[in-house]
A and B are shown apart, each in its own frame.
Chain A
Amino acid sequence: MTRIILILVSLLFLSALLFAPLAVVFASAFENGLGAWFQSFTDSDTGAAIRLTLLTAAIVVPLNTLFGVCAAWCIAKFEFPGKSMLITLIDLPMAVSPVVSGLIYVLLFGAQGWFGAWLQEHDISIIFAVPGIVIATMFVTFPYVARELIPLMQQLGNDEEEAAITLGAGGWFTFFHVTLPRIRWGLLYGVILCNARAMGEFGAVSVVSGHIRGLTNTMPLHIEALYQDYSMSGAFAVASLLSLLAVVTLIIKTLLEWRMGVHHR
């Protein structure tokens, strides 16, 4: 009896807080039919926002993947001074509010910032431009790959890599033929989480972007702009697209979790 009540309460909460908003997003998006939904994306500003989001993710995700693998490798395989410091630093973006993360870069690269004068002299714009958005997104999504890989690599140990080396394999050969196949599912999982956050980030990007339509608005920022303009159908259409990406991400994540479970057994 208690079990049934507990399950009911959980389901009620889930539907109220998760399913209902999702349903509203899709219902509102398709309110005026499929045609109107597609119509929303013909707007040039919307197109630009989607392209910018994809571009940001395309730059940020590979870079953070590379960084994550390197950092996880260092932490899992070597002992060095400042190791615990590095682990703490990797976690920093998760602890800091995204707005603060954005502000850091404004303070660094903004017109009144530390490097502001120098950047202006050399005619380089970072804040209120694409580079700022990329940097801020990168900062926020820093930990995802590394966090996923560190425990995995620590658990796997060094034996197989050492075996490969005694068998005559070089560093790259060992990485691609031994290490990478072992960590691939964990890595992919980290990459997907990183991608989801990169596409959906609002706070940090909002601070550094300047909200210039068609230029520095990413999808989340564009949704807000459309909403502020009372362009409900447009806002919900873009929102549904973003939600769709999130749902697909979750499905891949679930599949991966299942795959990793099989792999570990």
Chain B
Amino acid sequence: MSITLEQVTKRYQGQPVVNDVSLTVAEGEFFVLLGPSGSGKSTLLRAIAGLVDIDDGTIALHGSDVTHVGARQRGVGFVFQHYALFRHLTIADNIEFALRVRRMKAADRRERRKELLKLVALEGMDERLPAQLSGGQQQRVAVARALAHKPQVLLLDEPFGALDAKIREELRWTIRRVQRELGITTVLVTHDQEEAFALADRIGVMNLGRLLEVGAPRDLYARPTTRFVATFLGAANLLLALQGAEGIRLGTTPVDATVRTPALTGREHEVVTVLRPEEVEMAAEREQLTTSYMGRATVEELQFTGALERLRLKLLDNQHAVQTTGNGAEGRIEATRLQSERRAMPLAVGAVVALGARRMHVLPTPLSSFSIHAADEAAAQLLAQAPLLETLAGRMKTRVATCADASDGAPNARPGVAVIEGSDGAALRAVQLLRAGANEVLLLSPSTTLPEQICMFWLDDAARHATMAVTASLLRHLPAEAVCVATAPAGRRDAKRANALRALLDARSEARAAHALETRTELVPGEGPQALGEYLAGLSAPLLVLGTADITTAEAALGALLARRPGMPVLVVYRESAR
């Protein structure tokens, strides 16, 4: 393996900007780190080069640990966004810089320089100054300079950022060709998904300092596992659908969808599906559709973009069942079609069409949307404004529905995570909701802020997988520390303690392998929920993810925990144990 990162963390003033990133880049691979600005991708690249010290984790290049080796000794080739050519030196001197540092003979230097200038197609430019070259040419010189000392790794930090579209495209070809010719392991950082698709063997998508998903461009586009990747890589309509034993349905209409993960539980539950704009089919009538019918819609907006026509449609019926998220407006669907399709059925703003979905992909994320259950609308609104819920829903780009329950009767579970106020009697209400069909219940108060630690704990092993999945999903949206907690009686019974420890470490590696979730582990002395309560009481701002497969034990545990630390946010994850 050419580059190996293990649990790399970098903090600025206590805030992690790169959070627990583990990654391996193979020999000769072209890897693209993609993410919005501020996602930590540049910091990670600079950490690989040694320009930034990391706080935790290890970095290895070609099998040798270079975590504490300076940038100078790492000897990687680095290309900066703004070229960083030595402005007072000629192109020749720029390219020969690394060779002069290494005291290479003048004749050898000249030979290598000619070779490199040929590689980047800039022969004869030797005696010019950087200022006499165009931006694209300067960046090609920067690439040549970074390759002069034959580094085994080439790192490029947004190399096309400062260039205009045409030159960008041209330089993209140059870099791909150079990389192929030399077979050099390359990591490129960009925020441009088109660039990532064009260049990468594999893409790693980063957000909020975490590396969310890694995969080949095609796979990431067709089968993303997170909302962020689904919407960041190309446009996407995120639709809330229901998954049951018979398959996926949008409202009342069954649809074809690729489902990678089997149904979470036997009960019908809400899932998030990805519908790419190009997979939306449009026809005048429902009968003319060749794919699953989604509903009728009016054309709200039309955009000509050259090869494609972009449409924004508003669903007319099925609107409440099909809750769209992702593009900011509920009930709106984004679609694109080819010019040939446009000619076959010209549409104008205001036209009504029947929509079909050619292909949908179900995200394996366990958290779909939120439904607040409160005594009245006002209380529900208050709860909806809790900073934790507002941030979470905003980042998940999902719906927060409110419903007032009759105060005497048992609540009706709605799709998604049920949200209730964590006041007196909350344990009972949570249990009622679980019995009524909810799979997750979130307990919080209107003043609950973002947690600093997300602790996961399961009362039954059957709920372990789901607890981890939910925690991993939360951590993609909240920059908190993940802690995997287990309890073991303190004292002499060493065998029991060792077992608990082993289970904890197994859980940790499972979290890492199955959910790409890096966790800290904490073995708390004591028995069950009481010990857990003591541990949580010592944390600054915890959020507990409590997994259970048995509703009765959950009620007791929840009651004990809330009594020990009232007002603490708890997300109860219930999965019926498979019998």
Please give me the residue from chain A that is nearest to B98 by CB atom. A167
Q: Is the CB of B145 within 8 A of A167?
A: yes
| A22 close to B (CB within 8 Å) | no
Q: Is the CB of A168 within 8 A of B149?
A: yes
Q: Is the CB of B87 within 8 A of A166?
A: no
Q: Is the CB of A163 within 8 A of B101?
A: no
| B514 close to A (CB within 8 Å) | no
Q: How far, in angstroms, from A182 to B102 measured CA to CA in the complex?
A: 22
Q: Is the CB of A159 within 8 A of B101?
A: no
**Chain B 92-106 residues near chain A, CB threshold 8 A:** 97-98, 101-102
| B166 close to A (CB within 8 Å) | no
Q: How far, in angstroms, from A166 to B46 measured CA to CA in the complex?
A: 10
Tell me, rounded to whole Å, the shortest Cβ–Cβ distance linking A80 to chain B.
Answer: 13
Q: Is the CB of B80 within 8 A of A162?
A: yes
Interface residues of chain A: helix, strand, loop or mixed (majority) = helix
Residues of A contacting B85 with CB < 8 Å? 160, 163
Q: How far, in angstroms, from A170 to B85 measured CA to CA in the complex?
A: 17
Q: Is the CB of B71 within 8 A of A159?
A: no
Q: Is the CB of A182 within 8 A of B51?
A: no
Q: Is the CB of B76 within 8 A of A169?
A: no
Tell me, rounded to whole Å, the shortest Cβ–Cβ distance linking B94 to chain A.
Answer: 9
Whether A164 touches B97, Cβ cut-off 8 Å, given contacts A159-B80, A178-B86, is yes
Tell me how many residue pairs across A and B have CB atoms closer than 8 Å: 63
Contacting B97 at CB < 8 Å: which of A167, A170, A182?
A167
Contacting A165 at CB < 8 Å: which of B51, B89, B146?
B51
Q: How far, in angstroms, from A170 to B103 measured CA to CA in the complex?
A: 13
Count of chain A residues with Cβ under 8 Å from any Cβ of B? 16
Please give me the residue from chain B that is nearest to A265 by CB atom. B131
| B148 close to A (CB within 8 Å) | yes
Q: How far, in angstroms, from A173 to B86 measured CA to CA in the complex?
A: 13
Q: Is the CB of B84 within 8 A of A162?
A: yes
Q: Is the CB of A160 within 8 A of B84?
A: yes
Count of chain B residues with Cβ under 8 Å from any Cβ of A? 28
Contacting B148 at CB < 8 Å: which of A160, A167, A170, A173?
A167
Q: How far, in angstroms, from A262 to B86 measured CA to CA in the complex?
A: 17
Tell me, rounded to whole Å, the shortest Cβ–Cβ distance linking A263 to chain B.
Answer: 9
Residues of B contacting A162 with CB < 8 Å? 51, 71, 78, 80, 84
Q: Is the CB of B75 within 8 A of A163?
A: no
Please give me the residue from chain A that is nearest to B84 by CB atom. A159
Tell me, rounded to whole Å, the shortest Cβ–Cβ distance linking A188 to chain B.
Answer: 14
Q: How far, in angstroms, from A182 to B98 measured CA to CA in the complex?
A: 19
Q: How far, in angstroms, from A178 to B82 measured CA to CA in the complex?
A: 16
Please give me the residue from chain B that is nearest to A156 by CB atom. B87
Whether A173 touches B101, Cβ cut-off 8 Å, given contacts A163-B78, A167-B148, A167-B149, is yes
| A181 close to B (CB within 8 Å) | yes
Residues of A contacting B89 with CB < 8 Å? 181
| B72 close to A (CB within 8 Å) | yes
Contact digits for B129-161, partner A, Cβ 8 Å, 1 yes 0 no:
000000000000010011011000000000000
Q: Is the CB of B88 within 8 A of A163?
A: no
Residues of B contacting A182 with CB < 8 Å? 87-88
Tell me, rounded to whole Å, the shortest Cβ–Cβ distance linking A77 to chain B.
Answer: 13
Q: How far, in angstroms, from A173 to B88 measured CA to CA in the complex?
A: 15
Residues of B contacting A160 with CB < 8 Å? 84-87
Please give me the residue from chain B that is nearest to A159 by CB atom. B84
Q: How far, in angstroms, from A177 to B149 measured CA to CA in the complex?
A: 18
| B427 close to A (CB within 8 Å) | no
Q: How far, in angstroms, from A177 to B82 measured CA to CA in the complex?
A: 19
Residues of A contacting B78 with CB < 8 Å? 162-163, 166
Q: Is the CB of B102 within 8 A of A166?
A: no
Tell me, rounded to whole Å, the shortest Cβ–Cβ distance linking B381 to chain A.
Answer: 43
Q: Is the CB of A166 within 8 A of B88?
A: no
Q: Is the CB of A166 within 8 A of B97?
A: no
Where the two chains meet, the residues of B that have a C-beta atom closer than 8 Å to any C-beta of A are 49-51, 70-72, 74-78, 80, 82, 84-89, 97-98, 101-102, 142, 145-146, 148-149
20 more contacts with CB within 8 A, not counting A163-B80, A170-B101, are A159-B80, A160-B84, A162-B84, A163-B78, A163-B85, A163-B142, A164-B86, A164-B97, A166-B49, A166-B51, A166-B71, A166-B72, A166-B74, A166-B75, A166-B76, A166-B78, A166-B146, A168-B102, A170-B72, A177-B97
Can you name 25 A-B residue pairings with CB atoms under 8 Å?
A: A159-B82, A159-B84, A160-B84, A160-B85, A160-B87, A162-B51, A162-B71, A162-B78, A162-B80, A163-B84, A163-B142, A163-B145, A164-B86, A166-B71, A166-B75, A167-B97, A167-B98, A168-B75, A168-B98, A168-B101, A168-B149, A169-B72, A181-B86, A181-B88, A182-B88
